[in-house]
Structure 1
Amino acid sequence: MAEEFEVPSPHEHHLEEVAERAHESRDNFAGKIAVMTAIMATIGALFSYQAGSTESEAAMNKNNAAIKKTEAANQWNYYQAKSSRQNLSELATHIPGVDAAHYGAEAQRYKAEKEVVQKKAEALEEEAKAWDEKSELVLHQHHRWAQAMTAIQIAISLAAITLLTRKEWLKKVAYGAAGASVVLGTLAWLHI
């Protein structure tokens, strides 16, 4: 039977020594960074969810606005058709040998119908405007969530570099970026 021998590489040997020294000296630098990175990743996941959710909501609001604009355009087309019929009826009242009273009544009917259609078209335009405004507000909130997500990703990257370099000042910068992310997330949550 052949025996297997494991020959560690110099790199593996160095990593074991560093780990042993850190454990013996009770150095918890790496542990603190690891916990902070896990917390930042969790916050980042929440920010990412919120960013996606608000983006979808803004798109739905914009879609609703487009639907209302189309309905309003249809009403304005209907209004134009009623105007054309009203004009033709008014013109017919001036043609000799035609029942002027009948066409005069038709012109009045088209005028009344036109007013109803106009009010409906204007109401649909107002609804479209309201949906557009709502979409813009939610889109602004989405941008805040995306900014918060970007800041937390930067903080996580800085934390990884901090772990490799063991620079205390870099750890503070990573924590600062995480703090900025939380501020941006709070602004998004408050719709600011």
Structure 2
Amino acid sequence: MSGHGFHVHGPHDHELEHAAQHNPEGMAGKLAVITAILATVGALFSYMGGATQANAGLYKNNAAIKKTEASNKWNYYQAKSSKQNLAELALALVPEDRKAGYQAEIERYKGEKADIKKEAEALEEAATEWDHQSDEQMHQHHRWAQATTALQISIAMAAIALLTKRRWMAWGTVGIGGVGVVVGVLAWFHV
């Protein structure tokens, strides 16, 4: 521009002004919108990843509690077995007139052991179920983490595309973002 109010446009300047005035939705605008959408979806995926990881930890803790309770029941079962064994030994050693009392004790211990065994097996089954649920939550957590990572890579690619003005990188942004969304959908459906 000269000092006398006369302005000469070069072809490049003219194209930039034209693009700015008539195409506000150029590559930068489109990538900004895509980046905002990816960031929002990524935040949701990240939240779900954290929630499933927390659930997996809680379920694993419940499994450990049930395993401890089952172990306690099996110890109680063993104690009853020891008492039954002592009663059986006494039965063999005592005179005939006292054998009926020991025989009754033996039968009582057998009945108690059967109940304790059922309780211990039920606790072991519950522990196994909690472990299974924890494993499922960890699998889902990994899916959410994979989806979030793909979206983060996509957002970084959008920044590179803006800086380098490379259209193929913009398409890469959309492609990798799409992969992240698909993996997030898989996580949602527990696949």
Same fold (TM over 0.5): yes
Aligned pair partner of 2:50 in 46, 49, 52? 52
Aligned pair partner of 2:20 in 4, 23, 29? 23
How many angstroms does 1:92 deviate by? 0.6
Structure-2 residue corresponding to 1:158: 157
Moved more, 46-55 or 135-144: 135-144
- Partner AA of 1:109 in structure 2: R
Moved more, 31-40 or 179-188: 31-40
Structure-1 residue corresponding to 2:35: 37
Structure-1 residue corresponding to 2:99: 100
Structure-1 residue corresponding to 2:174: 175
Moved more, 95-104 or 167-176: 95-104
C-alpha separation in 2, matches of 1:127 and 1:58: 15
The residue matched to 1:191 in structure 2 has which SS?
Answer: coil
Moved more, 101-110 or 145-154: 101-110
Structure 1 length-normalised TM:
0.86
| Counterpart check, 1:127 vs 2:126 | yes
Q: Deviations over 1:60-114 (max 9, x none)?
A: 1111111111110000000000000000000011224582221121111111100
Structure-2 residue corresponding to 1:12: none
Paired residues, number = 174
How many angstroms does 1:34 deviate by? 1.0
Question: What stretches of structure 2 of length at least 5 have no aligned partner?
Answer: 1-12
